[in-house]
Amino acid sequence: MLTFVIRSLFFLIRLIPVRLAGALGAGCGRIFYYTGKRHRTIALKNLRRVYPGKDLAWRTRVARESCAELGRTSFELPHVFLRSRSFLRSRITVEGEAAFQAAMSQGKGVILTACHHSNWELGGLSISMLGYASSVIYRPIRQAGAETVLKGYRERFGASFQSRHSGLRWLPRALKQGHCIAVMIDQHLSNGTPVPFLGHAANTTTLPAVFSNKYNTPIFGVMLHRLGHQFRFKLEFWPITIPASDQLNEVSAMQTICDSFAPAIHAYPELWMWIHRRWLYLDEQEVETS
């Protein structure tokens, strides 16, 4: 039943022009900001932590527009998951692909790091849409029917989505096959390692640093930038070089990776997802000492 509901809802929203769907989603996101007290509080606390010099009006605007971007992204998903490759490709310009393509051609695979910025589902789909063999580490949703539908949409251009709960025995083989391994580095992990993210310690996966060092695999960052408020984007790749002195230090290596995302987030903070408890590690420490 849930599978039928999701497919039907996506089909209906797909009939709405994508720009209008995005605008409706942005409006719903702003309503969510004002009605969702818990998430509004989290967003404002995160922004106060990262931007202590900004006033409340600025932080309120960014938090509200971040929710609007989340709503816009959500209502665009039927278009992302159902429209043709040619349609999606026509809405994305790519920057830095030559360096990424050269790294992939070496046959050792690539560790591709990403974050929840702009329409990250389209960003994740773009890698396989461009023709690159990719394996994506992700967190499945708990509803089995919804998970089946969404996983099928996410894999429709040939990507392989691997649950972060199912272990990593597959990963060395995927690297040997020349896959890029996509990892989100901006999610709180209860068993993660504290690494500075936007200047403040946050529990973070060290997988990119560990596997890059073990298999001598190049690391890249990737980010999808929305151009204005339209369904038009720039997909940016950039190489991340870990200093030789830090290659054996997982925290230092991961900080280099995290720091490479900071300029884009600071330039357009409203495109990042501030309602996530990214600094739960620090929040819990503050509770213990209060």
Domains of the chain by residue range? 2-274
Angle between helices 120-129 and 144-154 (to 10 degrees): 50
**Lookup result for tokens 């819990």:** 284
Contact at 8 Å (CB) between 256 and 242? yes
Phi, psi for residue 84 in degrees, rounded to 5 = -70, 160
pLDDT tens column, 275-288: 999 999 998 888 76
DSSP string across 149-176: HHHHHHTTTS-EEEETTS-STTHHHHHH
Q: Return the percentage of the chain with pLDDT > 70, whole number.
A: 99
pLDDT tens column, 54-105: 999 999 999 999 999 999 999 999 999 999 999 999 999 999 999 999 999 9
Tokens of 198: 């936007």
Residue 1 has pLDDT above 80, yes or no: no
Mean pLDDT for the chain overall = 95
pLDDT tens column, 96-123: 999 999 999 999 999 999 999 999 999 9
Task: Give the mean pLDDT of 258-271.
Answer: 98
Coil, strand or helix: which one is 110?
A: strand
Q: Per residue in 178-201, is it b (16+ CB within 10 Å) or e — as a string?
A: ebbbbbbbbbbbeebbbbebbeeb
